[in-house]
A = this chain, B = another copy of it.
Amino acid sequence: MEITELPKGYTKDELIQPQTKLSESNLKSMLRSMNLKVTNQRLSILKALNKGPKTHVTAKDVFERVSAEYPNIGFATVYRFLKETSRFGITSELRIGYAPTRYELKVREHHHHIVCTKCGKIVEFQNEIIEDQIKKVGKDHNFSIEHHIFELYGFCNNPNCCK
């Protein structure tokens, strides 16, 4: 079957390990490296992205986290900046089923995701064999591959997976 429905339980928290905590000056130099001005809103968005345990967050998630600090933040600012981060390779985008786009800071190595379509759990994995095959496929078809999406969907065999 193809991805035709949202992962039902996707509101649940994910079980990913908390990630490296980046310092304020780390975040500022990130912004400078993007040739963007350093604003409180942007720093706050980066902090929100960097805050565990939920590391795959939607624009709405970010908006809510930042709103606590800056109640006047606008959605446009969040969306605009998230797109920038993705454009500059600071974050990667995750499109799961028909759910809103999720973002994650690229603080860990390149990886992909297995999504439980029952409880929404997201597990990360890496696979060198697949990455090698991607290069091969590109070569075989005379394409310069710039990026790829690769996500697995199924059911986690977890005792506490909902229902």
Contact = CB atoms under 8 A, between A and B. Distances in A.
Interface of A: 1-4, 83, 86-87, 89, 91-93, 95, 114, 116-117, 123, 125, 127, 129-130, 133-134, 137-138, 140-158
A157 B142 contact: yes
Number of copies: 2
Contacts of A151: 148-150
A125 B138 CA distance: 10
A129 B128 CA distance: 12
Contact of A129 (B114, B129, B138, B142): B129
Given A83-B4, A133-B130, A138 B152 contact: yes
Contacts of A116: 143
18 contacts: A1-B87, A2-B86, A2-B89, A2-B92, A3-B93, A3-B95, A3-B149, A4-B87, A114-B143, A116-B143, A143-B154, A143-B155, A144-B155, A146-B155, A147-B152, A147-B153, A149-B151, A149-B153
In the A-B complex, the 6 residue pairs with the closest CB atoms: A145-B154, A146-B154, A2-B93, A2-B92, A143-B154, A144-B155
A142 B156 contact: yes
A146 B1 contact: yes
